[in-house]
């Protein structure tokens, strides 16, 4: 969160931003797009790092223009001055002003690739990596062959450890410029980074093993250096020893470890930082890394279990229980801190759903349904919750909402499941016409799905 002064000031601003969010959501339900844009825009200015504020703002901006992909009429006459402001702010490294100017441009045309890229750039400079990634993705969606946009997106994917995503982008670049060997080299480099990040270098038997061993040895010796400037890690550790009460040193070293893929070391240094500070942002970073490490441990145990290791199977079940309990605890506390963050509510609802705690999942899903990113998934799972609670009428309403937002191409399994459950519900209520329609929707895409064909034939046979 951007620091605006004292904790009291931050709490006051958070309360105001939540009110803006609420008013914006209400305006959105009334299709009062201009007022919704104003409210969400205010919230973005107060808390520019909050992803849900940005996405809500862009969503209503797009709806204002009827998703026409071009924005306001004669928009090209209105944006030149804003592009000038962006350029001036970039030169001055005034990232907040650059962000503001770019957002004003997106209010005129939310599909403008350059303004989306500008938002990504300034957010990256401000440390808002999640928002930056999303903004770069929006820029690429608008201009899928813009090499500058593609490289920016690949870079931040790599920075955040999404090597597979970065490889995909460089493969696209290689198709655009088949003769550019640097893209192929980058793909190879990213593949090696992914292997090393997973610990795979220890098992590698190809010709690159010696080279990687040399690199590891070289870096290890560098980190053992005692002289200032000879090792980033050693310098940061030295700063901590000199000023152990300075939380910033712990954060910098933790970020270094993150970029190096040393997540266990990252968790350890963040935990040490928490011993000298109760900063909630620091705690959240530590929690995220601990959860990541637990997930990796669980993946390794499951891999071993698939190969017949009975002890690994039992241990995996134990770790899975510990992981979901930890996630429930973390997400519950974060909802208290970020009451307007629908993504966190969705994640907590998903955990309660897996635990079959449907009565606790339902109100969270109902709130998360306002987030268009997860709306279809939320409605399907909400319907399942009501089914488990034996509230079939409420379940049917949710599935009817969900089915209108699903399509087989994007979400094949939820699409089939939703139609199938609706057919079963209508069959139980003896509304065979609607049941038959939904069974037919399933069979049209999957003729062998469960017992759909048998049930449809039974209905048709009863009808004579």
Residue 204 has pLDDT above 80, yes or no: no
For residue 368, which of 399, 340, 406, 391 has the smallest C-alpha distance?
A: 340
For residue 67, which of 26, 33, 21, 25 has the smallest C-alpha distance?
A: 33
Q: What is the pLDDT of residue 421?
A: 96
Average pLDDT, the chain: 87
Residue 196 has pLDDT above 80, yes or no: no
Burial of 273 (0-12, 13-18, 19+ CB in 10 A): buried
Q: What is the pLDDT of residue 5?
A: 52
Lowest mean pLDDT: which of 67-81, 184-198, 343-357, 411-425? 184-198
323-347 CB burial, b ≥16 within 10 A, e <16 = beeebbebbeebbeebebbbbbbbb
Q: What is the pLDDT of residue 118?
A: 97
Check: CB of residue 423 under 8 Å from CB of residue 438.
yes
pLDDT category at 76 given cuts 50, 70, 90 is confident
Q: What is the pLDDT of residue 341?
A: 81
Specify the residue for token string 């709490």. 11
pLDDT category at 215 given cuts 50, 70, 90 is very low
Residue range 231-286, pLDDT digits in tens:
788 988 999 999 999 888 888 898 889 888 899 999 999 999 999 988 887 898 89
* 107: Cβ contacts below 8 Å, ≥ 6 apart: 37, 41, 61
pTM over 0.85: no
Mean of the pLDDT values across residues 401-412?
88
Here the tokens at position 322 are 């510990």
Give all domains of the chain, ordered by start, each with its CATH number.
7-200 (1.25.40.10), 227-323 (1.25.40.10)
Q: What percent of the chain has pLDDT over 70?
A: 88
Check: CB of residue 405 under 8 Å from CB of residue 380.
no
Mean of the pLDDT values across residues 213-233?
52
Residue 406 has pLDDT above 70, yes or no: yes
198-224 CB burial, b ≥16 within 10 A, e <16 = eeebeeeeeeeeeebeeeeeeeeeeee
For residue 415, which of 401, 402, 427, 398 has the smallest C-alpha distance?
A: 402
Mean of the pLDDT values across residues 122-130?
93
Q: What is the pLDDT of residue 194?
A: 61
H-assigned helices in 177-306: 181-197, 209-223, 232-242, 247-260, 263-274, 280-306
Using alpha carbons, list the distances in angstroms from residue 294 to 26, 62, 131, 320, 343. 40, 39, 25, 9, 21
Mean of the pLDDT values across residues 345-352?
96
């Amino acid at each position: 969160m951007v620091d605006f002064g004292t904790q009291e000031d931050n709490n006051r601003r958070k309360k105001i931003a939540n009110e803006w969010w609420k008013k914006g959501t209400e305006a959105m339900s009334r299709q009062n797009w201009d007022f919704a844009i104003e409210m969400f825009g205010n919230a973005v200015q107060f808390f520019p790092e909050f992803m849900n504020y940005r996405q809500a703002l862009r969503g209503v901006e797009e709806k204002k223009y009827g998703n026409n992909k071009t924005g306001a009429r004669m928009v090209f006459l209105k944006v030149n001055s804003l592009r000038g402001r962006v350029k001036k702010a970039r030169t001055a490294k005034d990232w907040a002003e650059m962000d503001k100017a770019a957002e004003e441009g997106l209010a005129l045309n939310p599909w403008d690739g350059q303004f989306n890229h500008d938002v990504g750039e300034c957010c990256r400079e401000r440390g808002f990596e999640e928002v930056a990634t999303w903004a770069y993705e929006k820029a690429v969606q608008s201009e899928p062959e813009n090499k500058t946009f593609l490289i920016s997106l690949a870079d931040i994917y790599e920075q955040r450890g999404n090597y597979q995503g970065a490889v995909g982008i460089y493969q696209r670049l290689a198709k655009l410029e088949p003769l550019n060997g640097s893209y192929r080299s980058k793909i190879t480099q990213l593949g090696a980074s992914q292997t090393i990040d997973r610990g795979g270098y220890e098992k590698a038997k190809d010709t690159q093993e010696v080279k990687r061993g040399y690199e590891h040895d070289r870096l290890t010796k560098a980190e053992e250096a005692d002289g200032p400037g000879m090792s980033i890690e050693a310098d940061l550790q030295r700063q901590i020893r000199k000023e152990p009460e300075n939380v910033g040193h712990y954060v910098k070293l933790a970020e270094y470890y993150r970029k190096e893929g040393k997540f266990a070391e990252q968790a350890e240094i963040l935990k040490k930082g928490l011993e000298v500070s109760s900063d909630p942002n620091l705690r959240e970073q530590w929690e995220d890394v601990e959860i990541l490490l637990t997930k990796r441990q669980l993946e390794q145990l499951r891999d071993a279990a698939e190969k017949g290791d009975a002890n690994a199977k039992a241990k995996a079940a134990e770790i899975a229980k510990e992981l979901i309990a930890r996630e429930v605890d973390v997400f519950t506390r974060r909802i208290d801190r970020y009451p307007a963050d629908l993504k966190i509510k969705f994640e907590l609802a998903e955990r309660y759903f897996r635990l079959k705690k449907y009565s606790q999942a339902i109100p969270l899903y109902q709130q998360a349904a306002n987030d268009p990113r997860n709306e279809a998934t939320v409605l399907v799972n909400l319907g399942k919750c009501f089914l488990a609670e034996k509230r079939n009428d409420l379940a049917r309403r949710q599935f009817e909402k969900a089915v209108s937002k699903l399509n087989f191409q994007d979400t094949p399994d939820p699409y089939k499941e939703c139609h199938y459950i609706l057919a079963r519900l209508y069959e139980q209520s003896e509304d065979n016409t609607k049941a038959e329609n939904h069974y037919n929707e399933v069979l049209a895409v999957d003729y062998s799905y469960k017992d759909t064909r048998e049930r449809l034939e039974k209905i048709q046979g009863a009808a004579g």
